[in-house]
Amino acid sequence: MNQKQTDEKFMRRCLQLARNGWQHAKPNPMVGAVITWQPTDEMGHFRGEPIIIGEGWHQRCGEGHAEVNAFASVEEKDVPKLPESTIYVSLEPCAHYGKTPPCADLIVSKDVKRVVVGCVDSFAKVQGRGIEKIKAAGIDVTVGVLEAECRELNRRFMTFHEKKRPYIILKWAQTQNGFLDDQGQNLPISSTFTRMLVHKLRAENDAILVGHVTENREHPQLNVRDWRGESPEKFVLSHENTIEKILATCRERNYQSLIVEGGAATHKAFLAQDLWDEIRIETAPMVVSGGTRAAELPKEAVVWHREAYDGRTIVTLRRRSDVAK
């Protein structure tokens, strides 16, 4: 196994660990860290493959970061190996004092031989500073291992800090011929199972929005009932509560993701301002003679993922430029 393969192997383990922080790390990013050491013979030549001597992830906002937990997991007998070890981190180590001390300083204090970083942190107080601090200490640093996968894991966090707005998911369910209702009357489109997936999506995001027409007609709860997790904060789009005000509120409250449930006019309003990152469409095998048509998809929207359940198809679209990455 060459160095590139070895680095990717342990970075994948970092990503596995990072996902454990899905519910409780936010608004911080999900991060995993792995510490490896490779045995040598009496002549100092490497023998065998590197082994993991420590690993951890960011479990909860305000508590120890992935690097802290990884170093804490190293057994006492392995501590002397740290000066010859490599630490893999899926996201750049922080270089500032927040609720916890800088992880870049911790890494330097441990005097590790090498640091491998998945991707640079978009947060303004980091953005390369952690990497530079570690390099300045004379430690070998490699950046960009499985970069696309590492950014994908924290796409909500990245969007929030890079675009100064939440990650926006436009979502709707439609008939096979593209209607959201039946002659303006509410039409159950989702199955029991796909409705559960909708609740799962809600549990994974911070805020949710509907237009005032949908709110007045259907009074949707927009909470999590068929899945475990916290319900997103509900917003209603109106003349008083505009898109701009809602996005500003999300920014103030550190809400990094927003589901836009509808209706059609609300979806069109977001699309008109090019405010979207994902579009999730559930299509059921039913046809109606008329009603409210779903919004027209933007030209840059391409299929990123497709699923099929109970005769229904769930398609997730993203921007062509994002899928190409």
Residues tagged active-site: 67
Q: Which residues are CB-neighbours of 324 under 8 A, at least 6 positions away?
A: none
Q: How far apart are CA 196 and CA 86, in angstroms?
A: 42
**Angle, vertex CA 292, rays to CA 289 and CA 297, nearest 5:** 110
3-class DSSP assignment, residue 287 = coil
124, amino acid identity:
A
Yes or no: say if 118 and 149 are a contact pair by the CB < 8 Å rule: yes
Check the CA dihedral 20-26-30-31 and report its sign.
negative
Cross-strand bridge partners of residue 179: 293
Tell me how far CA of residue 177 lies from CA of 137, 165, 217, in angstroms: 62, 33, 23
Check the CA dihedral 36-101-99-248 and report its sign.
negative
Yes or no: say if 141 and 115 are a contact pair by the CB < 8 Å rule: yes
Q: How far apart are CA 108 and CA 67, in angstroms?
A: 12
In terms of C-beta density within 10 A (0-12 exposed, 13-18 middle, 19 or more buried), how is residue 283 classed? Answer: buried
Yes or no: say if 325 and 148 are a contact pair by the CB < 8 Å rule: yes
Q: Which residues are CB-neighbours of 180 under 8 A, at least 6 positions away?
A: 172, 173, 174, 187, 262, 263, 264, 291, 292, 293, 294
Q: How far apart are CA 214 and CA 282, in angstroms?
A: 18
